[in-house]
Structure 1
Amino acid sequence: MSLSRQVRFLAQPPRLAAPEPDTLLQLADQCVKCGYCLPVCPTFRLEHTEAESPRGRIALIQGWLTDSLPASPVLLRHLDQCLECRACEAACPSLVHFGRLMDGARTLRQARSPWWRRWPRLAWLDLLSQPRWLLLLAPLGLLLRKAGIGRLSNPSSRSWPSLLLRLGAAVHAPRRVGASMPSQAEHSSNSSPHDSSRALSSDLSAPTTAASAPPVGLFLGCIARATQGASIDAARRLLAQLGIPFDEPSAQGCCGALHRHHGFTAAANRQLAVNAKAFGERRVIGFSSACMLELQTSEAISAQEICAFLANSQALAQARPRPLSARVLVHEPCSQRLLPGGASAIYQLLGRIPALDVQPLPGNDSCCGAAGTYLIEHSHTALALLEPKLGALRTLQPDYLLTTNTGCALHLASGLANAGLAIPVLHPVELLERQLRADAED
């Protein structure tokens, strides 16, 4: 949100559209309270408290919407603690749309809140969804940490200094593990698909195929643009290597997921509309599973996660990656498991690399704790959910850890760095692209 827009917002805050309570109650009433969701809910498994389960949260929403329970800080905290991983939906015999219910409840909560309480939250999300601001906020968090403020900060605090501290730690951890930012000289976001193919294909091993198909649109995201330069660069190189024409509309923006899951549905829908206009008729591909899941909610956008797109590519079937004698563990993000086909395309892609030992990371059925801004705003719980995965990584000691979601990559890399484990966290596309490069190391 620009400064002028924020000034207008403060002077005359808009009313927020929200779902009717009766609509949410109809969704909630589908729950028969059987309890099948409890064993698969990460927060319930951690806390063993009914209010930290999907069934308990549905009961709290029903009590709140029927005025049987006040919207107390305790009630709202239990709703906030939900990761929206939606593991409960797969276990539910009544097919409760829990994610839709939780998004709706959060939207109604924001609509009922005074504007002066909503505005800081919206401003925080607007800043996070703009790469240039994220690149400024993260170093500020590191400066606060170096100044010793981190020792005084409550791990569960949601104050601005505490949030900045955790943001700085999360954003800069992947660089310690070895990711690099792309060179802007190598690729311009305004270049044509043919220009980008020529610029990037000179150092790749296999010949590119004729670019006769219409270009696909490469979705860059917001946080990913500031933190996953290596993944973006690898995707560009791989598409060029395979002769797949692509472009990157400069008008694209945030997918809207951050705003939607915090109850700012109208802002999320506006961001979807911006992307629909920017990409037009192009098929949209992206390397962050959460972004693709959000873009797929728009009927105006044809979006596909890049691993699934490449797995069905004839160009990839003709490619010959170099062998790699290494062991990789695959982390399957919750959003990836919710996409059509789940994580199967990841294993198909990695199966193209000879001699590569590919195994799923133990505990993939449970959320790692990243969940958008959850790793920053609920860091204590996020770290507790991450610990079993770190334990598996300590035991198995893979050469690489692969994941397809930006937030998960940040959370995993930060945890590995703090645990002293020098395991690179990569996107599957990065590993595949390395093995197709002529200068790839054996």
Structure 2
Amino acid sequence: MNTQVKPSIPATPPRLSDRDLLDLADQCVKCGLCLPHCPTYAKTRQEGDSPRGRIALIQGWATGQFAMTATLEGHLDGCLTCRACESACPSLVAYGRLADAAKARRVERLPRWRRARKRLWLHLLSSARVMRSLGRLARGYRASGLARVAEITWLARLPRLGVFHRLVAAMGLTARPLIGRDPEIADLDLFVGCSGSSAQGPAIEAALAVCERIGLRASLSSESACCGAMMRHNGFPEEADGYREHCAQRHRGRVLVGLASACVAELREHPELGDTWELCAYLDQAAWPTSIEIRPLDRRVLVHEPCSHRQLLGGNAAVYRLLARVPGLRLSPLPDNDRCCGAAGTYLIQQPEMAGALLDDKLTHIRDLKPDIIVTTNPGCALHLIAGIRESRLEIEVCHPVELIARQIQMS
């Protein structure tokens, strides 16, 4: 049983006042060192699509110099919130916090009907029950042949319908029904979030299998809860806090292990969920029985590093160490891992053109390197990659790292 306890991380700071928002923005000295690290600026070469440009626009809007026009909204909404700029900033501007606070201000000022509509669809996406239903729909969509019809006709090329098709078709490969597993005494709670059964079914099964084989008792709730990240990054911090508090009530005082890097990053911000681990990091530091053997696997594997894992969880070293336990595996990072793939939570739905352009960059490297398998620790990134790989007619598997471990592990 793991006894290592990670230090508690302070709770999310109180909501920023207008003055605090401007003070945070004023930390940016507009040096431009962030520009080479911003994926959207690299695509458009427009100052308004760079971190310092967006900060300047937020300052102008917050002080009343600019009205919130469609053009201004386009520049601000075009941000991925990948936070690559933060690692390059010599002034240590907390861009992610600034962007979330500005989004919340903008949502507050929307007409009531637009605010209610936005809140409703986010609540639906944050509902495990709704996502399970979507998973069943996805499996039926693939099995019926409708996905294939959409791919060979113009239907899949319509912007909004195309996004739905790509996501649902990809989800049809990852959706699984989950059965709760709640041993009386468990070493850890496995957190699968709202999209677990629809986007990470095989990974959850693999996580449970690996834990069992190395002697860890994992509890899996049949009523999955959302961490609140989607709400927070879309301008509803109070709702996000409510979701996360619900998770804290359920898991406080427990070792909590999550499969999705973005969920882990969000949960760790709660003071009572300080002992929250990303799955690969937890398995990497766990004590494995000497009787465990891992079968060799002669495959070329590219590691995709999600922005949430790179920027918020301290890097992906544990993923590489865990996979290095598999003899014969030819492991290497996906080139340009410091650039977002375009999934970015709900971004791939809200900004499909930019999301597709960023995915194309990844696919260029994938075609050149011709891996057998791509692993990633974020379900949104996985679905995005699966969709692009399928449309490119490539025969490459996309999975969670723990799935490879589960396939190769054996007891001697």
One of 243, 249, 253 as aligned partner of 2:215: 243
Task: Indicate the SS of the match to 1:359.
Answer: strand
Match of 1:107 in 2: 104
Matches within 5 A, 1:211-360: 215-301=187-273, 302-315=275-288, 319-360=292-333
**CA 1:348–1:270 in structure 2 vs 1: closer, same or farther (change >3 Å)?**
same
Say yes or no: does 1:403 pair with 2:394.
no
* Bigger Cα displacement from structure 2, 250-259 vs 134-143: 134-143
Query: Could you list the runs of 5+ residues in structure 2 that have no partner in the other structure?
Result: 1-13
Q: Contact 2:326–2:405 at 8 Å: present in 1 too?
A: yes
Say yes or no: does 1:120 pair with 2:117.
yes
Tell me the TM-score normalized by structure 1.
Answer: 0.83
Task: Indicate the SS of the match to 2:281.
Answer: helix
Match of 1:150 in 2: 155
Match of 1:54 in 2: 51
Q: Tell me which stretches of 4 or more aligned residues in structure 1 moved more than 6 Å.
A: none
Q: Percent identity?
A: 45
- How many Å separate the matches in 2 of 1:111 and 1:372? 21
Query: Could you list the runs of 5+ residues in structure 1 that have no partner in the other structure?
Result: 1-16, 156-161, 195-213
How large is the Cα RMSD of the aligned pairs?
A: 2.4
Say yes or no: does 1:433 pair with 2:392.
no
Q: Contact 2:248–2:272 at 8 Å: present in 1 too?
A: yes
Q: Contact 2:182–2:218 at 8 Å: present in 1 too?
A: no
Match of 1:181 in 2: 176
**CA 1:265–1:316 in structure 2 vs 1: closer, same or farther (change >3 Å)?**
farther
Say yes or no: does 1:384 pair with 2:349.
no
Q: Contact 2:300–2:371 at 8 Å: present in 1 too?
A: yes
* Structure 1 residue 111 displacement after superposition: 1.2
**CA 1:125–1:165 in structure 2 vs 1: closer, same or farther (change >3 Å)?**
farther
How many residue pairs were aligned? 390
Q: Contact 1:193–1:215 at 8 Å: present in 2 too?
A: no
Q: Contact 2:147–2:169 at 8 Å: present in 1 too?
A: no
Match of 2:3 in 1: none
* Structure 1 residue 290 displacement after superposition: 0.6
Say yes or no: does 1:191 pair with 2:182.
yes
- How many Å separate the matches in 1 of 2:71 and 2:255? 44
* Structure 1 residue 340 displacement after superposition: 3.7
1:46-78, Cα deviation, whole Å (9 max, x unpaired): 100000000000000000000000111111111
- How many Å separate the matches in 2 of 1:404 and 1:181? 18
Match of 1:394 in 2: 367
Partner amino acid for 1:133? V
Task: Indicate the SS of the match to 2:202.
Answer: helix
- How many Å separate the matches in 1 of 2:22 and 2:181? 47
Q: Contact 1:252–1:275 at 8 Å: present in 2 too?
A: no
- How many Å separate the matches in 2 of 1:227 and 1:280? 25
Q: Contact 2:292–2:410 at 8 Å: present in 1 too?
A: no
Q: Contact 1:329–1:400 at 8 Å: present in 2 too?
A: yes
* Structure 1 residue 438 displacement after superposition: 6.6
Tell me the TM-score normalized by structure 2.
Answer: 0.89
Q: Contact 2:176–2:202 at 8 Å: present in 1 too?
A: yes
Match of 2:346 in 1: 373
**CA 1:411–1:122 in structure 2 vs 1: closer, same or farther (change >3 Å)?**
same
* Structure 1 residue 100 displacement after superposition: 0.1
Task: Indicate the SS of the match to 2:271.
Answer: coil
Q: Contact 1:328–1:399 at 8 Å: present in 2 too?
A: yes
Task: Indicate the SS of the match to 1:368.
Answer: coil
Say yes or no: does 1:172 pair with 2:163.
no
Say yes or no: does 1:421 pair with 2:394.
yes
Matches within 5 A, 1:26-105: 26-105=23-102
* Structure 1 residue 99 displacement after superposition: 0.0
* Bigger Cα displacement from structure 2, 122-131 vs 411-420: 122-131
- How many Å separate the matches in 2 of 1:225 and 1:70? 43
Task: Indicate the SS of the match to 1:26.
Answer: helix
- How many Å separate the matches in 1 of 2:48 and 2:290? 49
